[in-house]
Structures are given as structure tokens and as C-alpha cells.
């Protein structure tokens, strides 16, 4: 064994150990974070039942008899996320398909750069844009004070677009050329090929992108906090003010203590469970997408 070969093997082992250490740090961080959240949140259920916490909409920590019900926040998070996806999914999928199949090289590069720029804008900037543009628009068009589920959903729709667009473009672009050529050979038009061949072929990847966008929408705090109204009430429609799970945590965390603080960590447990379920769904969907493309 030459000295060069020995040095190369030592270098390879060092790099492998560095990568292993990085992986262990990542895993340890997730485990420690999970243990911390559960350790801080589970003591709540010594004083409040799980049913009362999850299925009551009465949140009043400062009352003589404090009440900790997060149903209104769960429903608010669901409404905001569902409405945001209803706006973002058609636009995102259409844009991704356009970039992958229709736009020329120059136009595609410009659109791709624009989408990447949207992904890099801080959430507080989106929130400020919502206060001065989206909220007045909602107020003028539909009445009310403008701070609402609808305003929050519109902001979140823009914030989730980059994820959906990028996943759709990558999924469609990575499909084998033979699928397109076979469709054209059978007499299908470009639109028929997109609708009947490409979108079904990229379905799993697109669904994974939508799920990732949903995770971004559920976990967003600052932008929704600025335009949602932050009212701890049960939302009754698109124009109702709303407080989501993340908004509730950030609103009360600065002064919470005791059982109130445990209730906020328990809220984080609910949010953590939902995000974990979404991530597991994505992990199951992506391998399916690879098998379908193969």
C-alpha cells in the first residue's frame, strides 16, 4: 500500500465520520426538541382533560377559573390552510406545468427566478404587504375590517406557491420523453398530453409538493399574525377574524407561566403531530413518484 493510498483512505474515513457526526447531530436535535416539547406540554393534562383541551373553544387563561380549549384555533388553522391551498394549488400546478412544458428557455428562467425570489422573501415582509395591500382590498371588496381568514389565506397562498411550483415542474420535467412522444404519436394534442399523460404521471410528486406547501401554511406565524386579526374566537366564515395554533403560541408565550405555559406547549404538541403526519405522508409519496417515473 502506497503512502498516497493510505492518506486517501484516511481522508475518506474522516469525511465519512464527519458526515456521520452531522447526521447524528440532526437526529439528536429532533429527538431533544421532541422530548422538550412533550416534557413541557404533557403536565397540562394533569389538570385539564384531553377532550376539554382539544374539543372546547373556550380559551381564557386569565379567568378566575382558567380554561384552555384550542378547538377554535384548530378550526382556524384548518380554514386558513384549506382556503390558501384552494387558491395556491391551481395556480402553482399551472405555473409548474407551463415552466416545464410551454415556456421557452428564457421565459422559463425568468419565471423560475421569480418563484425562487418569492421563496426567499421573509414572512414579516409578506405580513406588511398584507396589512397595506391585501387587508384594504378585502375590506373594500367584502366589508368588515379586512383582518380575516380570507386575508390570511391570500398571503399564505403566495407563500406556498414556490413549493408547489417547484415540485410540479421537477415532477413533470423528469417524466420520460417516451410518454410525450407516444401520446403525440397516437394523435393527442399538447393539452391532451398534459392533462391525460403528464399530470397523472407526475401525480405523486405534485401531491407531495402540495403536502409540503400545506406544512408551510400550517406552520406560518408572522404573516398570519399581522393580517388575521388574532382574535381567540371560533371563525364562522372567510371574513371572520382568526387565531391559528401558531398565533396562539406566539401571542401568549411572552407572559405565560404555570399551567398556561404548559397549555402553549401542549398546543405545540398538536401542531408537531400534524406536521409530523404531513412529513410522513411526503416520505411515502416521493418513493411512489420515483417508481411511477421509472
Q: Which residue blocks in the chain are alpha helix, DSSP H?
A: 3-41, 50-55, 71-97, 105-120, 123-129, 135-142, 149-173, 177-185, 190-193, 199-201, 203-219, 222-227, 245-252, 259-293
Give the global pTM: 0.83
Is pLDDT of 49 > 80? yes
Average pLDDT over residues 169-185: 85
pLDDT recorded at residue 39: 92
Look-up of cell digits 404548559: 262
- Is it the case that residue 292 has pLDDT exceeding 60? no
pLDDT tens, position by position, 234-252? 888 899 999 998 888 888 8
The CA-based angle 252-253-258, given to 5 degrees, is: 95
| pLDDT single digits (tens) 15-30 | 888 888 888 998 999 8
pLDDT digits (tens, 9 = 90+) for 51-100: 899 998 889 888 778 889 999 999 999 999 999 999 999 999 999 999 88
Q: Which pLDDT score, from 0 to 100, does residue 153 have?
A: 93
Provide the pLDDT for residue 286: 61
Per-residue pLDDT, 119:
84
Residue 264 has pLDDT above 70, yes or no: yes
Residue 157: pLDDT band by 50, 70, 90 thresholds? very high
Amino acid at each position: 500500500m502506497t503512502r498516497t493510498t493510505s492518506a486517501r483512505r484516511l481522508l475518506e474515513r474522516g469525511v465519512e465520520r464527519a458526515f456521520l457526526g452531522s447526521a447524528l447531530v440532526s437526529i439528536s436535535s429532533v429527538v431533544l426538541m421532541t422530548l422538550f416539547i412533550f416534557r413541557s406540554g404533557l403536565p397540562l393534562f394533569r389538570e385539564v382533560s384531553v377532550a376539554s383541551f382539544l374539543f372546547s373553544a373556550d380559551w381564557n387563561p386569565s379567568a378566575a377559573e382558567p380554561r384552555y380549549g384550542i378547538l377554535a384555533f384548530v378550526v382556524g388553522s384548518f380554514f386558513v390552510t384549506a382556503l390558501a391551498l384552494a387558491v395556491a394549488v391551481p395556480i402553482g400546478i399551472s405555473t409548474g406545468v407551463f415552466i416545464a412544458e410551454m415556456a421557452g428557455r428564457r421565459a422559463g428562467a425568468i419565471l423560475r427566478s421569480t418563484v425562487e425570489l418569492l421563496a426567499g422573501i421573509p414572512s414579516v415582509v409578506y405580513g406588511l404587504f398584507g396589512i397595506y395591500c391585501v387587508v384594504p382590498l378585502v375590506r373594500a371588496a367584502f366589508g368588515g375590517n379586512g383582518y380575516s381568514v380570507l386575508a390570511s389565506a391570500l398571503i399564505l397562498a403566495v407563500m406556498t406557491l414556490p413549493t408547489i411550483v417547484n415540485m410540479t415542474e421537477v415532477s413533470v420535467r423528469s417524466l420520460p420523453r417516451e410518454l410525450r412522444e407516444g401520446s403525440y404519436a397516437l394523435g393527442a394534442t399538447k393539452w391532451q398530453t398534459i392533462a391525460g399523460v403528464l399530470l397523472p404521471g407526475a401525480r405523486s410528486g405534485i401531491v407531495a409538493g402540495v403536502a409540503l406547501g400545506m406544512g408551510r401554511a400550517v406552520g406560518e406565524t408572522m404573516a398570519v399574525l399581522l393580517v388575521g386579526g388574532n382574535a381567540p374566537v371560533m371563525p364562522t366564515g372567510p371574513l371572520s377574524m382568526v387565531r391559528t395554533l401558531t398565533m396562539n403560541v406566539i401571542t401568549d408565550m411572552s407572559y405565560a407561566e404555570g399551567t398556561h405555559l404548559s397549555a402553549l406547549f401542549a398546543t405545540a404538541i398538536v401542531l408537531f403531530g400534524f406536521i409530523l403526519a404531513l412529513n410522513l405522508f411526503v416520505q411515502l409519496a416521493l418513493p411512489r413518484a420515483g417508481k411511477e417515473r421509472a
